[in-house]
Structure 1
Amino acid sequence: MSTATTTASTTTTGATVEFRGLRRAFGPTTALDGLDLTINPGELLALLGPSGCGKTTALRILAGFETHDSGQVLVDGQDITQVPAHRRDAGMVFQSYSLFPHLTAADNVAFGLRMRGTGKAERRNRAQELLELVGLPQHAGRYPHQLSGGQQQRIALARALALQPRVLLLDEPLSALDAKVRLNLRDEIRRLQQELGITTLFVTHDQEEALSMADRVAVLRAGRLEQCAAPAELYSRPATAFVAEFVGTMSRIPCTRAGSSVELLGRTFPVDGELPADGELDVLVRPENVGLVSNDAGAAVVVGASFLGSATRITVRLSDGTEIKADLPTEAAAGLPVGGNADVTLPDRPVLVDRRTA
């Protein structure tokens, strides 16, 4: 995609979006259970979570495609509950592209302008500007079936931007694309979003997409907000065990209580956050924080190795059957063959503790 210079007519100003106590149920199923969330002007916020967590429902309510049972949706302080979808000043990009097959790329981009009664010459100029912005000016006369999936999604993005919306809504727009195209397009979407300064809500179930693209990531679970934070904070300081295990990889290691601390692997560790009041406990550890030292008398047995390039993920098993993953430099991992023994080490810092799962 080209890095075409954005003209003044393409630049937009982002709005503040607020969900206040948002609730929505579909029969006995609660999709949103009191969602409170603010998206700052010009921010790209990703809604992340498993299927059924309520992320798409929240986006569709903001777009005006769904109604909420209670609560408020505000854009720049105005409650838009009674504002119809076509007047909400929001552009939307769907997973399935949703281009009109009988219209050229340029006519697809200009469709919303035509519906607004914009003159033909202005529509043509605006469409050309946006096609240049998304790197496809030479495809103006092509029809959707003559475009690749990535090109179709760029056209869909240009169409969503044509009306200069204050809010851009992205509903898993990359999930139908192959891995290489998805990687390139997510970088370009992020570049455009920052260039335009448009407030963007991005729904995805792909944690890598969320962490690489968003200013902040809001993790939902069963209609409730678990945590909303910058990607680095979300990954390194998860507020709950659910966030810790949903975002990135975690190993669970059984531990025992030692007053306000816990004991595991022959050592005592302080606890990060609250220690559950009862029940058996696990410590949650990311693979990059696990050290392995080859030792013929070590308590852990190497049971697997996955080459990841500069790093190799080693899986070891303790005598109680617990499996722990460790990411080591590939050169160091070569000294830990499958079947060999090792000692497991953890850094000297507080650990995240959760009740043991069944």
Structure 2
Amino acid sequence: MTNPNTTTTVLATDSDSDGHRPQVAGATVAFRTLRRAFGATVALDGLDLTVHPGELLALLGPSGCGKTTALRMLAGFEYPDSGQVLVDGRDVTAVPAHRRDTGMVFQSYSLFPHLNALDNVAFGLRMRKVRTALRRTRAAELLDLVGLPDHGSRYPHQLSGGQQQRIALARALALRPRVLLLDEPLSALDAKVRLTLREEIRRLQQELGITTLFVTHDQEEALSMADRVAVMRGGRLEQCATPADLYARPATAFVAEFVGTMSRIPGRIVDSGTVEVLGRRLPLDGGAPAAAAGEVDVLVRPEAVRLGHDPAGQARVVATAFLGAVTRVTVTLSDGTSVKADLPTESAAGLPPGSPVAVTLPDRPVLVAPRAA
């Protein structure tokens, strides 16, 4: 679908004699102790975060955690009460939006309804007074890059939602920004289109080597697309790590429960490094809070839970959900605690609802959290 020479051609600028511009590496972006409050609401509370050149970093968190505020500060649409925004070491905190080398794609497509797709893509180039022939050539190449080479004459109302968002992406790339900002660009699309477009965005980002910040509340999007994921809560950074590290080694109970599925099983800390749960003692994860002996909840992923049919078992199967190669089995412990386990579908077939089962955990460190009320 993509012309292998497209990347070079797209980098053309009107000021070069040969119509081409050498490729420029993605920028380093840094947020330094950013703070922003809206009245009594603190949107950012001392955010410190660095995005590496050419990296796709996802800002993930619940509504109101500050992720969109951080993105808008990088774009120049918001200004901090204190702190700095740096691009390649240059302080751009007070630089107006139109003078920052960024491109932004919004949740809403924000296309001009009176312009066709080609002219929408070329709009920023026209504002930069790029020659007509060159801007139309570059816009056509960008349409090819996003997989819509034959849609240049169509107007927004003639395009599907996914096609409109591809046009918006091409428009953001037209000025060849060093930083691309994506503010929940897939949330308005249906599931199948969302899956296809997130793969396309990732392919384009890697092909162009552009530093990208992607804001989302969808953990699946963040984990499948990003080089690293920054999980935010209440205006603060909880953890920034690769998707694999974030899932396997969450730094806090909030991250553990926000990223992926997690069951809480009652336990009791017996010393500084051990917790008793389901009748056995397990080592505490290094990220677990230091605590004296007392009741806690042990946080466990579904794939770590082991089930076995046992007439004298301490749990009973209450539901199963087919997920393809695995089946998610929900059991209830004798104290009413609900626990989820992911089993090979073939194994789960022998555990229909109502089956008595024994629940065990592997002998490896576990994360704990304060006992839920």
TM-based fold match above 0.5 = yes
Identity %: 76
Q: Is the 8 A contact 2:143 2:149 kept in 1?
A: yes
> Aligned residue pairs: how many?
357
Q: Following the alignment from structure 1 to structure 2, what is the Cα–Cα distance between the partners of residues 18 and 158?
A: 25
Amino acid at match of 1:233: D
Which one-letter code corresponds to 1:354 in the other structure? A
Q: Residue type of the partner of 2:318? A: V
| C-alpha deviation, 1:82, in angstroms | 1.9
Return the alpha-carbon distance in structure 2 between the equivalents of residues 4 and 76 of structure 1.
30
Q: State which of 277, 292, 300 in structure 1 corresponds to 2:315.
A: 300
Select the residue among 266, 276, 282 that pairs with 1:263: 276
| 2-structure distance, mates of 1:131, 1:356 | 54
User: After superposition, where does 1:118-157 map in structure 2 within 5 Å?
Assistant: 118-157=130-169
What's the CA shift for 1:327?
0.3
Inter-partner Cα distance in structure 2 for 1:7 and 1:352: 45
Describe how 1:1-358 pairs up with structure 2 within 5 A.
2-5=1-4, 6-10=6-10, 11-260=23-272, 261-273=274-286, 274-277=288-291, 280-358=295-373
Are the aligned partners of 1:276 and 1:355 in contact in 2 as well (CA < 8 Å)? Answer: no
* 3-state SS of 2:245 partner: helix
Aligned partner letter, 1:169: L
SS at match of 1:60: helix
Q: Is the 8 A contact 2:7 2:208 kept in 1?
A: no
How big is the shift at 1:340? 1.0
Residue-by-residue CA offset, 1:35-88 (whole Å, 9 max, x unaligned) = 000000000000000000000000000000011000000000000012110110
Q: 1:256, CA displacement in angstroms? A: 1.1
Q: CA RMSD, aligned part only?
A: 0.9
The question of whether the paired residues in 2 share the 8 Å contact of 1:90 and 1:167 is answered with yes
Amino acid at match of 1:262: V
Once residues 216 and 83 of structure 1 are traced to their aligned partners in structure 2, the CA distance between those partners, rounded to angstroms, is: 27
Contact 1:109 1:156 in 2 (8 A): yes
- Please tell me the residue identity of whatever aligns with 2:122: A
Letter in 1 for 2:66: G
The residue identity in structure 2 corresponding to 1:265 is L
Once the two structures are TM-superposed, the CA of residue 7 in structure 1 deviates from its matched residue by: 3.6
Give the SS at the match of 2:8. coil
What amino acid sits opposite 1:357 in the alignment? Answer: A
After TM superposition, give the deviation of residue 12 of structure 1 in Å. 4.4
Asked if 1 retains the 8 angstrom alpha-carbon contact of 2:79 and 2:94, the reply is no
Deviating more after overlay: 2-11 vs 70-79? 2-11
Q: Is the 8 A contact 1:276 1:354 kept in 2?
A: no
| Equivalent residues of 1:15, 1:76 under 8 A apart | yes
* Structure 2 CA distance for aligned equivalents of residues 186 and 312 of structure 1: 26
- Using the TM superposition, give the Cα deviation of residue 3 of structure 1 relative to its aligned residue in structure 2, in angstroms: 2.5
Unaligned regions of 5+ residues in structure 1, if any? none
Residue ranges of structure 2 left out of the alignment (5+ in a row): 11-22
Spell out, residue by residue over 1:196-242, the C-alpha distance to the aligned partner (whole angstroms, 9 max, x if none): 00000000000000000000000000000000000000000000000
Matched position secondary structure for 1:262: strand
Q: Which residue identity does 1:23 align to in structure 2?
A: R
Q: Offset of 1:4 from its aligned partner?
A: 2.6
Q: Which amino acid aligns with 1:339?
A: G
- Tell which deviates more after alignment, 256-265 or 84-93: 256-265
Task: Return the alpha-carbon distance in structure 1 between the equivalents of residues 351 and 308 of structure 2.
Answer: 8
Question: What is the Cα deviation at residue 259 of structure 1?
Answer: 1.4
